[in-house]
């Protein structure tokens, strides 16, 4: 016997689809960028817990993905939104460079494929 009503624990995908349909693309892009920035900061050990969650391999992936998103999306989200995100990206790239025991060559750090070399 199947019940067509979703249980309280299961998501209602129709509601979720309607909700996401109402969100402007700029807001989705910025939200994803902020989530990538936050995750990268945690993996770089920049939170209160510091080294507890530090993982430079994971941080590299997150920073690189953030740089790619910003490279592709900057023209779509306006400089009002893009400028602070680019500043945050550069800060994460510099933090990565500082945290690395063996520094990357200029232009080879995470996301530098998209941003160009980052110097401290």
Is pTM beyond 0.85 here? Answer: no
Cα separation of 41 and 25, whole Å? 24
**pLDDT tens-digit map of 54-90:** 999 999 999 999 999 999 999 999 999 999 999 999 9
Distance, C-alpha 13 to centroid of its chain: 25
- Percent with pLDDT over 70 in the chain: 88
Phi and psi angles of residue 69, each rounded to the nearest 5 degrees, phi first: -60, -45
* 113-116-118 Cα angle (round to 5): 115
pLDDT digits (tens, 9 = 90+) for 34-59: 999 999 999 999 999 888 999 999 99
How is residue 1 written in tokens? 């016997």
Give me the phi and psi of 104, to 5 degrees please. -75, 155
């Amino acid at each position: 016997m199947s019940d067509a009503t979703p249980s309280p624990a299961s998501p209602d995908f129709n509601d979720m689809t309607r909700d996401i349909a109402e969100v402007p693309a700029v807001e989705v892009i910025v939200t994803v960028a902020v989530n990538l920035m936050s995750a990268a900061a945690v993996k770089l050990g920049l939170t209160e817990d510091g080294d507890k969650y530090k993982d430079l391999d994971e941080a590299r992936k997150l920073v690189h993905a953030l740089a790619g998103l910003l490279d592709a999306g900057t023209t779509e989200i306006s400089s009002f939104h893009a400028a602070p995100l680019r500043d945050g990206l550069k800060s994460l790239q510099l933090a990565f460079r500082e945290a690395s025991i063996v520094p990357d060559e200029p232009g080879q750090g995470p996301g530098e494929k998209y941003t160009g070399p980052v110097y401290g």
